[in-house]
Amino acid sequence: MAFASNTFTDVDEGRYYTDAVQWAADNGVTTGTSATTFSPENAVTRAQNVTFAYRYDQNVVQPALDNITTDVITAQTTADGAQTAADVLGERVDAPGQRVALLQWWQETITVGNSPFGVAFDGTHIWTANYSDSTVSKIVAATGAVAATIDVGNEPRGVAFDGTHIWTANNGDNSVSKIPVG
């Protein structure tokens, strides 16, 4: 990122720190050692470092978090409205345009493999890694029925969904397993 001009007379164009110093000045992280100097060759004092961190938090991080909070509140309000409409149909909406079957059996206990360790949801199935028997259980979310038990690497300790595949982290043989969802 290149800046059009430099705030400080002692920060020469083209130096490795030029853009970073200008960004910090533009974003209120630094005001320099005077109105016209930054003193780039001087060591940063503990007080200056704390000031940089505080101003970075106040002028960069907090406004970004405020934007995220606003976005989350807006998304939640939109999702709540969609959920209300979907409840009438007996379905759940987790993302715009995506419907997921309600987990009608949530009070029940589902028997899976030995030592279940980690859970992932792919929109249709719930997956759990079974540590002691080196398998993954695939559970139909709408009914709670175990649809499949799949052998994976030794001692799976985690399970994740990436949008296309289920992945397990296999502790016993230092490997990962990829399972197609379809």
Please state whether 14 falls in left (phi above 0), alpha (psi between -120 and 50) or beta.
Answer: left
* Short-list 139, 168, 132, 172, CA closest to 152: 168
Mean pLDDT by 10 residues, the chain (182 residues): 67 90 91 92 88 87 70 54 47 48 56 86 85 91 86 90 87 89 77
Q: What CA–CA distance (Å, rounded) separates 137 from 113?
A: 7
pLDDT of residue 151: 94
**Does the domain made of 116-180 have the CATH classification 2.40.10.500?**
yes
Closest among 82, 124, 122 to 102, alpha carbons compared: 124
pLDDT at 101: 47
Confirm if 131 and 117 have CB atoms less than 8 A apart.
yes
Pick from 112, 142, 143, 146: which is nearest to 129 by CA? 112
